[in-house]
């Protein structure tokens, strides 16, 4: 499917996957609205897209803030037109500590990773329902499939996204609106740059974006990639706790975000 002449909104677009998704969609003649906290980065992205002949606009928002998210996406809709594709991509990751429990950071992960998706969808869904068409996308993580030691908060925030999108997909299946959950493995982004171990099957962000856009064109319900990481996570889900503890020994409390 071509994205030409459509309007897409991408949150978390100031770096990493979001940045590359915006460029990839714009290269397919899609008008792209980008949202993030860093105005300078968003403006640089818009300039890059426009220099390549694409159409883009930006709006600043912290997606953990309800009112900011709605206002930013509505302003982009006013500039670019009705939204055909929403990609709720914003995400943060921090280890979960026990002594003490880092409540503030866990709350922030849920606000950004989970509620940020809900807020972004709220901004576009009413008009999609009126038009009887649209595509809602959330970028989750392969971490949603396994509660890893030292990453309980992050994994749980992403698992919540998966279940939320699953329910929406079924609820909207007769309303002309497609719903896709994207679960990447390790992607080379500023967030994963803080990981202190060798990341298996690490992909460049531009490669990941190209794979995601291709999957969205096929209207995939759930897109797990790379397949090797997906298989590993499925096998890990069957492993006993003692084995996972042994494999992940020494990693608890370190960054394992994907």
Instruction: Convert the pLDDT of each residue in 149-179 to its tens digit.
Output: 889 999 999 999 999 999 999 999 999 999 9
Mean pLDDT lowest among 7-11, 20-24, 57-61, 193-197: 193-197
- Confidence category of residue 196, pLDDT binned at 50, 70, 90: low
pLDDT at 193 over 70: no
Long-range pairs of 239-248 with CB within 8 A, sequence gap ≥ 24: 244/148, 244/149, 245/149, 248/148, 248/149, 248/150
pLDDT averaged over every residue in the chain:
93
* Strand (E) or helix (H) holding 171: helix 152-172
pLDDT at 249 over 70: no
Displacement of CA 68 from its chain's centroid (Å): 18
Q: Is the pLDDT of residue 242 over 90?
A: no
pLDDT tens-digit map of 94-138? 999 999 999 999 999 999 999 999 999 999 999 999 999 999 999
152: nearest Cα among 91, 94, 196, 96:
96
164 has catalytic annotation: no
Question: How many CB atoms are located within 10 Å of the residue 53 CB?
Answer: 9
The active-site residue, picked from 119, 154, 164, 223, is 154
- 62-75 pLDDT, tens per residue? 999 999 999 999 99
Is residue 238 pLDDT above 90, yes or no?
no
SS3 106: helix
Domains of the chain: 7-247 (3.40.50.720)
What would the 3-class secondary structure string for 15-82 be? CHHHHHHHHHHHHCCCEEEEEECCHHHHHHHHHHHHHCCCCEEEEECCCCCHHHHHHHHHHHHHHHCC
Per residue in 11-47, pLDDT (tens digit) is 999 999 999 999 999 999 999 999 999 999 999 999 9
Can you give the pLDDT at residue 11? Answer: 98
pTM score, whole prediction: 0.92
How confident is residue 253, by pLDDT bands cut at 50, 70 and 90?
very low
Q: Is 212 left (phi over 0), alpha (psi -120 to 50) or beta?
A: alpha
How far apart (Å, rounded) are the C-alpha atoms in residues 256 and 238?
Answer: 20
Amino acid 235: pLDDT: 87
Share of the chain above pLDDT 70, in %: 94
Cα angle vertex 62, ends 58, 63, to 5°?
Answer: 95
Reported confidence tier of residue 236, pLDDT bands at 50, 70, 90: confident
- Neighbouring CB atoms inside 10 A of 57's CB total 19
């Amino acid at each position: 499917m071509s994205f030409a002449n459509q309007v897409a909104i991408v949150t978390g677009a100031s770096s990493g996957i979001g940045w590359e998704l915006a460029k990839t969609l714009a290269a397919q003649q899609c008008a792209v609205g980008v949202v993030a906290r860093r105005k300078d980065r968003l403006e640089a992205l818009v300039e890059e897209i426009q220099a390549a002949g694409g159409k883009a606009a930006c709006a600043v928002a912290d997606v953990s803030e309800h009112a900011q998210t709605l206002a930013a996406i509505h302003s982009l809709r006013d500039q670019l037109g009705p939204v055909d594709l929403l990609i709720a991509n914003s995400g943060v990751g921090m280890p979960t500590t026990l002594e003490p429990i880092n409540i503030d950071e866990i709350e922030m992960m849920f606000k950004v990773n989970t509620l940020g998706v809900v807020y972004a969808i709220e901004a576009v869904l009413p008009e999609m329902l009126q038009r009887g068409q649209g595509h809602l996308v959330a970028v989750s993580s392969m971490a949603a499939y396994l509660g890893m030691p030292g990453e309980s908060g992050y994994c749980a925030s992403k698992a919540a996204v998966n279940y939320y999108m699953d329910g929406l997909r079924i609820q909207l299946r007769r309303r002309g609106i497609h719903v896709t959950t994207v679960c990447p493995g390790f992607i080379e982004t500023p967030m994963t740059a803080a990981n202190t171990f060798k990341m298996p099957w690490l992909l460049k962000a531009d490669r990941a974006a190209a794979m995601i856009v291709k999957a969205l064109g096929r209207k995939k319900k759930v897109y797990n990639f790379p397949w090797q990481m997906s298989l590993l996570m499925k096998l890990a889900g069957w492993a006993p706790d003692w084995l996972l503890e042994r494999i992940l020994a020494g990693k608890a409390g370190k960054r394992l975000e994907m």
